[in-house]
Amino acid sequence: MTLPTFLIIGAMKSGTSSLHHYLGEHPEIQKLPAMKETNFFSGPPNGIPYPPGSKRIERLEDYEKLFDSAYEVRGEISPCYAIHPRRQGVPERISQLIPDAKLIYLVRDPIDRAVSHYHFSVAVEDERRPLSEALTDFSDPYSLYTSPGLYVTQLELYRKHFRDEQILVIDQADLLANRQEALSEIFAFLSVDRTFVSPRFEEEVNTGDELNTYSYFVVLHRRVQGSLLLQRLLLQRMSPGLRRSIRQAIQRLFSKPLAAPELDPDTRARLQEYFAEEVRRLRVLTGKAFPTWSV
């Protein structure tokens, strides 16, 4: 079988779209599938539907078609692989099929991640609650605003099935501020030329600025992205830059202003307390300081 040799397992709203773009530039890595978020290992919905417009590849034969045996290094990105308990049994399914897979976990300040996820939900989904109300129940294990930021909780599930040397944790802040250094670390982990440089590494994808409008076109665009047929007929024939330019041009025509959410001091303090132990454990586990984080 031709299957991926590595997976980017998350976290949601932590720069996975940009990483998808950068990895596709390396000549030793197969260009990642245009269908970002295949959710192949995520499992059935089990009463918790996937986001509007998203799709899941269910058949192994369809999943195999995404990968080219001519490349020794092949991968895909599905942030839903690290949102337990909303998606359960993911590490087990991965280990059963590709036990030697390398796993990259892109993480971000968990408070910033939660606010960004809320901003995204308001912009392109159906979130209408105020930010403070949406983040009220921190203890809800199914909350998409807080549970994906419990990084050690997610990692421990993978560590039951994969060796520590198979897992690489990368801070999104490093990918933004020290991009070439962070990419070199990823390339070395994947056993490809770590010195490779591309002018396209200067580009950023799905920045927060793109969410400062509420756009019905964005919802339509997500549905197009979820269509494998349209992927093959349209999206794969366009460069990422062209796709982004077209999307942004049409979005401007069908958008209205959307203010960036602001977190009140009380809610921020409660979030800092909530995430403190998880972040402490993450620092111990990875040996990384995450110096820019607010926790």
39-92 pLDDT, tens digit each: 999 988 877 877 666 778 999 999 999 999 999 999 999 999 999 999 999 999
| Residue 107, helix vs strand vs coil | strand
208 pLDDT higher than 60:
no
Between CA 222 and CA 123 the distance in angstroms is 12
pLDDT at 254: 59
What's 75-89 look like in SS3? Answer: EEECHHHHCCCCCCC
Supply the pLDDT for residue 290: 98
Pair 39, 89: CB distance under 8 Å:
no
Give pLDDT, residue 270.
92
Token reading at 1: 């079988």
Average pLDDT over residues 26-43: 92
Q: What are phi and psi of 247, to 5 degrees?
A: -60, -45
Residue length of the chain: 295
Domain ranges of the chain: 6-286
pLDDT of residue 232: 52
- 3-class SS string, 88-101: CCHHHHHHHHCCCC
- Give the residue carrying structure tokens 């250094």: 181
Mean confidence (pLDDT) of the chain: 86
Question: Which pair of structure tokens corresponds to residue 48?
Answer: 């918790």
Select from 9, 33, 29 the least CA-distant residue to 192: 29
State both tokens at 143. 């909350």
Q: From CA 136, how far away is CA 158, in angstroms rounded?
A: 29
For the record, the structure tokens of 27 come out as 């000549």
Tell me the per-residue pLDDT of 276-288, one tens digit each, with 9 for 90 and over: 999 999 999 999 9
pLDDT at 112: 96
Maximum pairwise Cα distance, the chain = 54
pLDDT attached to residue 76? 96
HEC states along 46-65?
CCCCCCCCCCCCCCHHHHHC
Distance CA 23, CA 72 (A): 14
| Mean per-residue pLDDT, 113-137 | 86
pLDDT above 60 (res 221)? no
- pLDDT-derived band of residue 227, with 50, 70 and 90 as boundaries? low
DSSP bridge pairs for 7 = 76, 103
Q: How far is CA 52 from CA 225, 226, 288, in A?
A: 11, 9, 35
What is the pLDDT, as a whole number, of residue 261?
84
Taking only the tens place, the pLDDT of each residue in 251-275 is 666 566 667 788 999 999 999 999 9
Among 81, 76, 79, residue whose Cα is nearest residue 23: 76
Q: Which CATH class is domain 6-286?
A: alpha beta
Q: Is 9 helix (H, G, I), strand (E, B) or coil?
A: strand
Please, which pLDDT band fits residue 215 given cuts at 50, 70 and 90? very low
Reported as a single tens digit per residue, the pLDDT across 194-204 is 999 999 998 87
Task: Reduce the DSSP state of residue 187 to 3 states and report it.
Answer: helix
Q: Are the CB atoms for 11 and 208 separated by under 8 Å?
A: no
Q: Which segment of 94-98, 128-132, 235-239 scores lowest on mean pLDDT? A: 235-239
Q: Find all residues with CB under 8 Å of 231, minimum gap 6, and list them.
A: 34, 35, 225
For the chain, report the end-to-end CA distance as a whole number of angstroms: 43
CB 76 within 8 A of CB 38: yes
Task: Give the separation between CA 74 and CA 62, rounded to whole angstroms.
Answer: 15
Task: Find, among 107, 100, 101, 96, the residue nearest to 7 by Cα.
Answer: 101
